Each structure stands twice: as structure tokens, then as C-alpha cells.
Amino acid sequence: MTKTVKSPINGYKVKTFDGGFRSKSMVSINQFTKASQINKLFAVAKRMERIVKARKPNKILNEVTIAELFYQPSTRTFTSFLAAARWLGCQRVIAIPGMTAYSSVVKGESLRDTIQSIEQTTACDAIIIRHPENNSAYEAANFASVPILNGGSGKLEHPTQAVLDLYTIYRKMGKMKGLKVGMLGDLKYGRTVKSLAKILTVVDKNPNFYFISPKVLKMPREEIKLLKQRGAEVTETENLKKVLGDLDVLYVTRIQKEWFKTAAQQRLYKKLKGQYIISPKLLKKAKKKMIVMHPLPRVGEISYEVDEDSRAVYFEEMRMGLYTRMALLGLLTGKIK
């Protein structure tokens, strides 16, 4: 029987990665059910790393056509997917970074119609999508006949970011379990932290999380409940200094300004922003081998001086996105076995 993962919103289903990646969508981090799936993916990512480091692009995706539809701004996810496709010889990438400005979405077209239209007009083999609604990638996968790759949906999921973040931990720390992982900032609206915490429970039966945030931006209760069910130990605090010295990984995030919509919320945003700033002075309290990660963009929460610190890995982290997205495109289209 094919195992599936159900959307928490309306019951749309996607297949788990049991039995492999070929022809499947990557919509939710919950599709990863076993560490062996991640090991497989990372073995391919290492091969991709060698291709890029040797500057030897190849033709693995030569026959493939890919569409990229972004309904939210992006610097890294958009370009690294585009570059990943091209490093693997994809000749036909139809990439639209401004769906909300330039497509018929402006005229009120629904997501299901857009997805089915793009499939027809481009004859694509896969669609990469970023969208502000939580259910968007599930919906797209439900109406597409080709794999959907979720480049970030709403406040809940950013599975390809979690893959690159975990790959960064693996490459930098040499292991993925037994680590004390601190997640700092906007844990309420941020999607990267939710996906990363969940993928860590697949590779570590007893992960140790420190969720550090202002009270109003705490990790949602249902996420905490799920992580605990999966064996995680969770410490929640507002006090970064108290726990900093214990951490092996510090994953920093920005306060997600776009979700603070009303005048009162905007006032709250101004109050919250600047509450945590990672500086060289603060990092004196951290372990020498701790790594500082950030999905970026940063808007002041890590000072530029920290970039010189060998523990700052957020620039390399983006490059890991190129390698892991090459691996994902190859595996999901079935061109890499």
C-alpha cells in the first residue's frame, strides 16, 4: 500500500518517500519517513557538490522541462533552483518570479487553473512553486500530473530549505544526531524552523531543541506536540544568553514582517525587531564549535561583523541549497536513480 501524507488543511494527499523519490512531489517535510531516504539524498548531493566544484556541468536534465512559479519574493530559493536545473543541463526552464504581478493571477485566476495551464503551455516535467498560502503546494500537487516542488508555502512548510539546512549541519558538524539545536526568532510565523525541526526527528530519535523567542512568537503548540510525539526534548525560553553556551547549532531567523498586517501588529513588530542581535561579543559565550545558521534574508538580527567568525556558516548554507536542489531535481524527475 502506498503511504501518504495528508494536508492538515483540507485532506489533499501526497506520497511519502517510501520506495524512492522518482515521479513524486516534494510538498511536505513529513514525506520523509526514514533516515535512509535522507542518506540517499545526501549521497546524491555530494555528487552534485563535486560537479559544481569541478565546474563541470552535465546533461542529466537535458530532456527535462521545468517551470518555476513564485508568488512571493525570493533571492536564494528562486536562483538556486534555476541554477540547479541549468548545472544539470536543463535547456528549458520557464521561470516566473513575479506571478502576482505578471500572470493572470492579477485577474483572479485560481491556483488549480494556473497550475493546469502552465502544464499545458510548457509541457513541463516538474513545477517549482512558492506561495503565501499554507495549503498551496498540496493543492498544486493535487491538480498537477507532474511533480510539484514546494519552494515555501505560507507559514508552515519550506521542505527544500530544511533539506539544505540539514545538509549544512551534516557537512559542517559531521553528524546529524546528538546535537543541541537552538532555533531563535520568529518561530510562530517562520516556516523554515518548523520544517527543519521535523526533518531532524527523522535522523535523530531523540533530538534536543531549544526554542528561543519572544512569548508572542513561540512555536505553535501543535508543532511542539508533534515534535514531542516524535521523541524530541524541547526547552522553550526567551533568554538566549541562558542557553547559548549549551548549543551546537544556533539557527537564527528574522521576524516575519509580512504577517504583521494591522496597525497594532506593525507597532508590535517594531517592538520585537531588535530583541535578539547576534554580535561578536555575544558569541564569546558560545561553544568554539557551534555553528551559526540563518536561512536569510537577515534584517539586522546578525551583525555584519559576525560574518568574519568561522562559526558563521550562513553563506555556505546557501551554496548547500544549490547542491541539494540539484539532487532533488534529479531524483524527483527520475533522471538520477
Q: Is 107 a catalytic residue?
A: yes
CB of residue 158 vs ligand NCD: minimum separation in angstroms?
Answer: 5
Contact between 145 and 124 (Cβ < 8 Å): no
Which residues have C-beta within 8 Å of that of residue 57, sequence separation ≥ 6? 51, 86, 87, 88, 89
- In the three-class reduction of DSSP (H, G, I as helix; E, B as strand; rest coil), residue 152 is classed as strand
Residue 60 or 82 with smaller CB distance to ligand NCD: 82
> What's the Cα-to-Cα distance from 262 to each of 82, 109, 232, 259, 265, rounded to whole Å?
35, 26, 35, 9, 5
Catalytic residue from among 15, 24, 65, 77 = 77
Rounded-to-integer distance, Cα 106 and Cα 137, Å: 19
Task: List the catalytic residue out of 15, 24, 131, 158.
Answer: 158
What minimum distance in Å lies between the beta carbon of 294 and ligand NCD?
Answer: 9
The residue of the chain with the least Cβ separation from ligand NCD equals 295
Q: How many CB atoms lie within 10 A of CB 3?
A: 12
Nearer to ligand NCD, 158 or 198 (CB): 158
Judge whether 55 counts as a catalytic residue.
no
User: Which is closer to ligand NCD, CB of 327 or CB of 336?
Assistant: 327
Nearer to ligand NCD, 15 or 138 (CB): 138
- What count of other Cβ atoms lies within 10 Å of the Cβ of residue 206? 11
CB atoms within 10 A of CB 137: 33
Q: Long-range contacts made by residues 99-106, C-beta under 8 angstroms, separation at least 24?
A: 99/69, 99/70, 99/71, 100/71, 103/69, 105/71
Give whichever of 60 and 85 is closer to ligand NCD, judged by the CB atom.
85
Instruction: Respond yes or no: is residue 130 known to be catalytic.
Output: yes
Task: Enumerate binding residues for ligand NCD (CB under 6 A).
Answer: 76-77, 152, 158, 161, 191-192, 253-254, 295-296
Nearest approach in angstroms of CB 95 to ligand NCD is: 16
Angle at 209 between CA 259 and CA 207, to 5 degrees: 130
* Smallest distance, ligand NCD to C-beta of residue 330, A: 21
86 part of the active site? no
Which of 55, 107, 221, 337 is catalytic? The answer is 107
Catalytic residue among 15, 16, 65, 130: 130
Residues 27 and 141: beta-carbon distance below 8 Å? yes
- β-pair type (4-6, 13-15): antiparallel
Smallest gap from Cβ 258 to ligand NCD, in A, equals 8
Shortest Å distance, C-beta 324 to ligand NCD: 13
Q: 162 or 247, CB closer to ligand NCD?
A: 162
**Is there a catalytic annotation at residue 77?**
yes
For residues 162 and 196, the answer to whether their CB atoms sit within 8 Å is yes
Q: Which residues are catalytic?
A: 76-77, 107, 130, 158
